[in-house]
Amino acid sequence: MGFNPLQEKGIPIDRQFRNWSELNVKPYDKNSVDPYTQCRVITMNGIEVEAVMFSHQFARHTTDLDLKRQLALVRRAEQQQQKAVCWLVPGEASNLETVIGYEQVAVDLTAWVAQNEPNPYARQAYEFGLLEDFDHLYRYANLMDMLEGKKAEKIVKGLTEITPGRPTIAEHRHPMDDVRKPLDRNKDDPRSLLHALTITAAEQQTMNYYMNIGNRPTEPMARGLYLEIAQIEEQHVTHYESLLDAGASWAEMLVLHEYNECYLYYSFMQQEPDPRIRQIWELHLAMEIEHLRIACELMRQTDKKDPEAMLPKELPEAVTFQSNKEYVRQVLGSQINLTANETEFVPVETLAPDHRYFAYQRVVNGHGPVPSEQVIDKHVKAKGREYRLEVIGPSPVEEFRKAG
């Protein structure tokens, strides 16, 4: 029998608050941390930020003071969880070193989700986004090598390759072509709903991060690269959030959020090699079980519906951080030329010359250097070649093989 969070007993909500020193956790060591421990920390930070922001939005859409108080209560615990997770990231890591971790999450979490996604359209959406974040990893790795003299291989440790993906310059699409067809909570496998929530939260956190730290460098090209990629993360949030079933009620969405938090903490505590961090995942799971119970009660009251009907009988197979090099290469080798036309993914060469894609490209990429290209050109000029980490062999894409 698997684990069913609906049948477990969690920590009562009035016993979930912790003091400042408990929350001010000792950060991991950036040199010895397992790359996937870092990825789990970044992911759970994104999940907790989404929990908080979703709860705020919910509160802004109800006039019921009792409900607002209930939301405020659980939200305070979510905020504490966010601090305990996010404060694991050490101050010694530069923004760019942390960015490499963010893009590694975007590659390997999305790759796992795509391979385990039951809905073929959603799977295609994940593979589509995957190649774009894969390219971001390569652009930022070149920037970091140039500005800080640090190699991204010290962070990803060969688990994720670093080589061009769908070139960032080509990712800039008209906003209307980033909206996808939604999943259906009554027809789709619950795993699909959970996957979409997870990846939306991760991308949103990346978007927020670049929105705020992108102005920290003094070097204009670095500021430019952050702002250019931040705009793609906006596209990614639009892309993934439109997969969510917006027909769900606020209470249903709350239940799904809490269930997903249980699912991820349960998944990650099984894989976590660092015992101290594993304890945090275990503690937070016990808290989430209670959040889920409260959300289910709310759904029964407000919607007069049974939350069990929407949820699996037990948690699905654990979400896993693992190396996906072969899989990413296979997607790279077959989908590099895709773009989007409304909700469909099509080869860019099939677009009519007057498609809005080209008009948008002319606006943003016209007149002046494109930072994502400039960063590679400058690296080649300064060091004689670009920075890559091709672990299994040359790029599966012919035109990317001649390294600078």
Rounded least distance, CB 236 to Fe ion, Å = 4
Instruction: Kindly tell me which of 81 and 238 has the beta carbon lying closer to Fe ion.
Output: 81
What number of other Cβ atoms are within 10 A of residue 185's Cβ?
Answer: 18
Residues that bind Fe ion (CB under 5 A): 48, 51, 78, 81, 106, 133, 136, 203, 233, 236, 258, 261, 288, 291
Instruction: Kindly tell me which of 183 and 229 has the beta carbon lying closer to Fe ion.
Output: 229
Instruction: Kindly tell me which of 174 and 293 has the beta carbon lying closer to Fe ion.
Output: 293
Q: What are phi and psi of 268, to 5 degrees?
A: -75, -30
From residue 12, give the alpha-carbon distance in Å to each of 18, 286, 294.
13, 9, 10
Q: Give exposure, 297-311, as e/b (b: 16+ Cβ within 10 Å).
A: ebbeebeeeebeebb
Instruction: Kindly tell me which of 135 and 145 has the beta carbon lying closer to Fe ion.
Output: 135
Closest CA to 133 of 39, 242, 269: 39
* Diameter of the chain measured on Cα atoms: 66
Q: Hey, is 45 helix, strand or coil? A: helix
Q: Give exposure, 363-372, as e/b (b: 16+ Cβ within 10 Å).
A: eebeeeebbb
Rounded least distance, CB 353 to Fe ion, Å = 28
Report residue 151 as tokens: 């190699």
Q: Where are the alpha helices (DSSP H) in 272-306?
A: 275-303
Rounded least distance, CB 122 to Fe ion, Å = 16
Instruction: Kindly tell me which of 69 and 401 has the beta carbon lying closer to Fe ion.
Output: 69
Distance CA 336, CA 334 (A): 6
Instruction: Kindly tell me which of 30 and 166 has the beta carbon lying closer to Fe ion.
Output: 166
250-271 vs 275-303: helix axis angle to the nearest 10? 160
Instruction: Kindly tell me which of 145 and 261 has the beta carbon lying closer to Fe ion.
Output: 261
Residue 339 parent element (H or E): strand 338-341
Angle at the Cα of 155 from the Cα atoms of 330 and 138, rounded to 5 degrees: 50
Rounded least distance, CB 322 to Fe ion, Å = 19
